[in-house]
């Protein structure tokens, strides 16, 4: 028996370091920059865990010692252990500078590009405006998938379409555009094949929260979708439709549909 088909269409009205300088004396290279928000936090936390996993270490302190030893062998004056910077990297409280990224990449190859691109190049979609050209048929195919087909490639295409739809919504062009991408991404991120690697990288909770806040911002420019949420919630007495939808979009629509059906059956 094959896997069940999954559909996500919205069931609502279709509306650093110190380094030896050229003259032989230590010069200070700033180790980080102030945390600026979700983007820096995600990029740094993911990078830290990428380095940690590459070095097969468990703690920030162990990673700091490995990096310190490596820098020492290169004759660099570093403060990776006493500065506690790797604890701040772990927490996303401080981001590495370009020099740190370059040098750590020698010890953990691929870590610098991971910092910039993220898992599956997801950061490129989220923050470098590299969405997809809108294709209604391609969008529809994303929703007509089997459970086993939901993988990182599917996630990237769904996120790309979600971002593209938002850009069109900002321009007021939402007529006849397929909806339900936030709901689809919400479900996909809870599949083991996607959730497990994101958890190992310390990114799952941060990514879910980031996408949720991005959808909140999207709705500011999508009055049609926001109106659908309010109208659908009004029918079932949901007090805070926006919060309920953002936290559990699939559960929100399921509850609204179920309560509406029960009301109709009892009348």
Domain finish residue from 87, 117, 147: 117
The residue behind tokens 């991404």 is 185
Give the pLDDT band (50/70/90) at residue 246. very high
Residue 235 counted as domain residue: yes
CB 70, CB 107: distance < 8 Å: yes
Q: Give 199 or 259, the one with higher predicted confidence.
A: 199
Q: Among the three residues 102, 117, 132, which one is the final residue of a domain in this structure?
A: 117
For residue 162, tell me if it sits in a domain: no
Residue 186 has pLDDT above 80, yes or no: yes
CA–CA separation, 153 vs 149, rounded Å? Answer: 9
Domain count, the chain: 2
Distance CA 111, CA 1 (A): 42
Residue 64 lies in a domain: yes
Q: Model confidence over 88-138: pLDDT tens digits?
A: 999 999 999 999 999 999 999 999 999 999 999 999 989 875 556 788 888
The predicted structure's pLDDT at residue 255: 65
More confident residue, 162 or 170: 162
Minimal CA–CA distance to 19: which of 78, 96, 95, 103? Answer: 78
The per-residue pLDDT for 240 is 86
- Rounded-to-integer distance, Cα 68 and Cα 78, Å: 7
Angstrom CA distances, 251 to 63, 194, 223, 258, 259, stand at 41, 20, 22, 10, 12
Residue 253 lies in a domain: yes
Mean pLDDT of the region 141-170: 90
pTM of the shown model: 0.79
Q: Has residue 10 got a pLDDT over 70?
A: no
More confident residue, 82 or 36: 82
Least confident of 79-93, 106-120, 167-181: 167-181
Q: Greatest CA separation found in the chain? A: 87
160, 132 Cβ separation under 8 angstroms: yes
Asked whether residue 199 is assigned to any structural domain, the reply reads: no
pLDDT of residue 229 exceeding 70, the answer is yes
DSSP for residue 79: -
What DSSP character marks residue 34? E
Domain membership of residue 104 (yes or no) is yes
Range of the structural domain that residue 247 is part of:
222-267
Residue 205 lies in a domain: no
109 located within any domain: yes
Rg of the chain's alpha carbons, rounded to an integer? Answer: 23
Helices (H), 221-248: 223-236, 241-247
pLDDT of residue 134: 83
DSSP 176: T
Among 89, 117, 145, which residue terminates a domain?
117
pLDDT of residue 36: 58
Contact by Cβ (8 Å): 247, 212: yes
* 201 vs 164, higher pLDDT: 201
Evaluated on CA atoms 126, 40, 77, 81, the torsion sign reads negative
Rounded average pLDDT over 180-194: 95
């Amino acid at each position: 028996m094959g896997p069940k088909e999954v559909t996500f269409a919205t069931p609502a009205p279709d509306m650093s370091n110190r380094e030896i300088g050229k003259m032989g004396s230590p010069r200070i290279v700033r180790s980080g920059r102030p945390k600026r928000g979700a983007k820096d936090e995600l990029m740094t936390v993911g990078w830290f865990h990428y380095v940690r996993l590459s070095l097969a270490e468990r703690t920030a302190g162990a990673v700091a010692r490995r990096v310190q030893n490596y820098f020492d062998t290169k004759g660099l004056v570093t403060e990776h252990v006493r500065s506690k910077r790797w604890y701040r990297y772990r927490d996303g409280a401080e981001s590495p500078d370009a020099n740190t990224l370059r040098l750590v990449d020698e010890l953990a190859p691929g870590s610098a590009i991971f910092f910039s691109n993220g898992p599956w190049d997801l950061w490129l979609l989220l923050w470098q405006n590299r969405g997809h050209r809108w294709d209604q048929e391609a969008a529809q195919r994303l929703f007509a998938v089997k459970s086993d087909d939901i993988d990182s490639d599917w996630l990237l295409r769904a996120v790309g379409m979600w971002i593209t739809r938002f850009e069109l919504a900002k321009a007021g062009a939402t007529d006849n555009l397929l909806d339900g991408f936030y709901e689809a991404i919400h479900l996909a991120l809870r599949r083991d094949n996607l959730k497990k690697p994101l958890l190992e990288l310390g990114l799952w909770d941060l990514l879910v929260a980031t996408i949720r806040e991005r959808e909140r911002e999207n709705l500011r420019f999508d009055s049609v979708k926001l109106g659908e949420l309010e109208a659908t919630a009004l029918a079932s007495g949901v007090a805070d439709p926006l919060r309920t939808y953002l936290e559990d979009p699939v559960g929100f629509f399921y509850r609204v549909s179920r309560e509406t059906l029960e009301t109709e059956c009892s009348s």
